[in-house]
Chain A
Amino acid sequence: MNFTNSLLILKKDWKSSVQKKEILMPMIFLPVVFTILLPVLMMVGIIVAPEDYISSFGDINVLRLILNIPANYNEYLVGAIMMLRMFLLPIFLIIPGLLPAIISSDSFAGEKERKTMESLALLPITKNELIVGKILVSFVPSMCITFACFIGIGLTVNLMFLSHLEGNILFFSDLSFIFVGFLLSPLLAFLNIQISVIISSRSKDLKSAQSISGALVTPVFALLFVQMFNPAFLTVPIIIILSGILTLLCLIFIKLATKLLNIEKLILMV
């Protein structure tokens, strides 16, 4: 496999993608919403009245025990960790779940719609090089934005609680977030992209590819609800187990994506 060929496809598609408002807008707004707006809105209540917020969930000492929060953390930080674990951790997973669907649904369905599929298929490249190129087009920006969001959320939260930190660091010191940000998110994005690329290669047009791919975020919402009702659910061992399952699925789907890519069908569908 010639990886340079895949990178050339990535470069071309990226150039086209940033010219499209429907792709560019979510890439700008999602990080703003998830890294600034959402954390600020969620944390304001804790800064104003931390005791009220914590008492609505139960006794502070019980929460410290369940969520494994160090004893020297004050009520502000306990409230912040509570909010981060319950809502922001699963919401953070929506970014790698949602972004790839927006970009990768354009991969093959867009080529068909623009009637460029045949000229692309006539290039002296293998099917694998084409697939990898199309996956990278979504994976690279999705990961860049996810990591930017990771840093963004961490900075926003720490800045909001700056006067209450007492030498501690929120978010960045929490292993669950590190494992979600650097293991679970990339795997989730990778799997989502592969499925979106398969959907895109078999959809009649871009709109149907986007609507089907959009549904891929549903399992992430399920995770969000589980985490909301049990903030101690996404612990490091659980994240590692989930990542293992996702790795397995990624390996299955990468084979499936190459197998299911039917150039003949794609050309005849135009």
Chain B
Amino acid sequence: MDFAIRVENLSKVFYNKKEKKLSKDQREIWALNGVSFNVNKGDVFGLLGPNGAGKTTAIRCIAGLLNPAAGEIFIDNQELNSSIVHILRKRMGFLTENHGNYENLSVFENLKFFGSFYKIQDLNKRIEIVLEQMDLHKRKDMKAGKLSKGQKQRLAIARAILHDPEIVFFDEPTAGLDPVAAVKVRNLILGLKNQTRTIFINSHNLEEVQKVCDRVAILDLGKIKRIGTPSELSKELWETQEMVCTLKSPIPDDFKASLIKLDFIKQFKIENNKIYFYTTDANETTPKIVKELVKIGADVLEVSRTVHSLEDIYLKLMDNKINNN
């Protein structure tokens, strides 16, 4: 498999310097503790977790800004180390938690400065293209400090993609933005997705991750709790899947007897004109159920399946954590 990013047993420890009375071990804060994951080329990968889970630390380690306590990081199968990190960074683009724009420079000057470090053919033309893409072309001569929060974020994204990097990292891309600006940023990210570009998103915004990510890892207290596509995670966490059939009229009692005979249904319940079915594999059983219902003379109005959102998955994981504690 061709991985854009491969992280193996990554650990990062910080020391609480304020608590000097405590021993060295007690002062240790494991921001990352044996984290391993792969990001496929061309995927949008989301690292999800609450504040303080270690998401930003993970990005900073991959970017070579923080030195891991243990573990290995590979970018395009090349091991990341201090001697080549500046070379590998040419293939990466970063949107940091703080936008990091130079506020006393204009929008254009910001991009010109950051773009000058990469071999970009006709930098000025490329800046114009990116500004157009980010809807900032009318503000190119404006000082970055005078931009709105959303515009600052878009400028930071423009900076991240200016050199057309193979891997783009977004750390909380919509944090602090109003809903309209957040949608714009989300659409921009989706627009960036193509077969050659890999996108890595850090977020605690579940809706955002659900909308844009192919694969997700849930990180909590420096450890990966689950990893997979949202539907894989859903299957992993819920043994049964729910399917709801709405009939035209209230369900007669004899229907119940016919439904009990169906062995592929684990459980069901009837409420007025709705039947709730619980099965292990909804893909397999949904057509069978509809067929049986028609056979016994039911007027099927609607069939729907309850899809667990990433929020459900996340909340279930966090709920398990609280219960375990």
Are A8 and B117 within 8 A (Cβ)?
yes
Are A116 and B113 within 8 A (Cβ)?
no
Do A121 and B105 form a contact, CB below 8 Å, given A12-B113, A270-B98?
A: no
A123 proximal to B (CB < 8 A): yes
Give B95's nearest chain A residue, CB to CB.
A119
Are A123 and B65 within 8 A (Cβ)?
no
**Interfacial residues of chain B within 265-300, with CB under 8 A of chain A in the complex:** none
Q: Give the distance to chain B from A146, nearest Cβ to Cβ, in Å.
A: 26
A121 to B86, CA, bound (A): 10
Do A267 and B60 form a contact, CB below 8 Å, given A119-B96, A122-B65, A124-B89?
A: yes
What 8 pairs across the A-B complex have the smallest Cβ distances? A119-B100, A124-B89, A115-B98, A124-B90, A12-B113, A118-B96, A124-B86, A122-B94
B116 proximal to A (CB < 8 A): yes
From the candidates B14, B89, B114, B117, name the one contacting A5 in the complex (CB within 8 A). B117
A114 proximal to B (CB < 8 A): yes
In addition to A8-B117, A114-B102, A118-B100, 9 A-B residue pairs with Cβ atoms within 8 Å of each other are: A8-B113, A16-B104, A19-B104, A116-B101, A119-B100, A124-B86, A124-B90, A125-B117, A267-B65
A263 proximal to B (CB < 8 A): yes
B87 proximal to A (CB < 8 A): yes
A126 proximal to B (CB < 8 A): yes
Q: Give the distance to chain B from A185, nearest Cβ to Cβ, in Å.
A: 30
**Interfacial residues of chain A within 116-151, with CB under 8 A of chain B in the complex:** 116, 118-126
A15 proximal to B (CB < 8 A): yes
Are A121 and B98 within 8 A (Cβ)?
no
Number of A residues, CB within 8 Å of B: 24
Q: Which residues of B contact A59 (CB under 8 A)?
A: none
Are A122 and B117 within 8 A (Cβ)?
no
B67 proximal to A (CB < 8 A): yes
From the candidates B67, B96, B114, name the one contacting A123 in the complex (CB within 8 A). B114
Q: Which residues of A contact B105 (CB under 8 A)?
A: 12, 15-16
> Which of A122, A123, A263: most chain B Cβ within 10 A?
A122
Give A117's nearest chain B residue, CB to CB.
B100
A268 to B31, CA, bound (A): 13
Give A263's nearest chain B residue, CB to CB.
B65
Would you give 9 A-B contacts (Cβ < 8 Å), ordered by A?
A: A8-B116, A12-B102, A19-B104, A118-B96, A120-B100, A122-B96, A124-B117, A264-B67, A270-B98
From the candidates A5, A8, A116, A268, name the one contacting B100 in the complex (CB within 8 A). A116
B103 proximal to A (CB < 8 A): yes
Contact residues of A: prevailing secondary structure: helix
Are A16 and B117 within 8 A (Cβ)?
no
**Interfacial residues of chain B within 243-283, with CB under 8 A of chain A in the complex:** none
B128 proximal to A (CB < 8 A): no
Q: Which residues of A contact B113 (CB under 8 A)?
A: 8, 11-12
Q: Which residues of A contact B94 (CB under 8 A)?
A: 119, 122
Q: Which residues of A contact B100 (CB under 8 A)?
A: 115-116, 118-120
Give A264's nearest chain B residue, CB to CB.
B66
- Contact flags B80-98 to A (C-beta < 8 A → 1, else 0): 0000001101100010101
A124 to B162, CA, bound (A): 13
Are A118 and B104 within 8 A (Cβ)?
no
A92 to B308, CA, bound (A): 75
Are B102 and A122 within 8 A (Cβ)?
no
From the candidates B65, B98, B156, name the one contacting A264 in the complex (CB within 8 A). B65
Are A124 and B87 within 8 A (Cβ)?
yes
Q: Which residues of B contact A116 (CB under 8 A)?
A: 100-102
Q: Which residues of B contact A121 (CB under 8 A)?
A: 65
B118 proximal to A (CB < 8 A): yes
A8 to B118, CA, bound (A): 12
Are A118 and B86 within 8 A (Cβ)?
no
A66 to B246, CA, bound (A): 112
B223 proximal to A (CB < 8 A): no
**Interfacial residues of chain B within 92-140, with CB under 8 A of chain A in the complex:** 94, 96, 98, 100-105, 109, 113-114, 116-118
B199 proximal to A (CB < 8 A): no
- Contact flags B54-72 to A (C-beta < 8 A → 1, else 0): 0000001001011100000
B159 proximal to A (CB < 8 A): yes
**Interfacial residues of chain A within 1-27, with CB under 8 A of chain B in the complex:** 5, 8, 11-12, 15-16, 19
Q: Which residues of B contact A119 (CB under 8 A)?
A: 94, 96, 100-101, 114, 156, 159
Q: Which residues of A contact B117 (CB under 8 A)?
A: 5, 8, 123-125
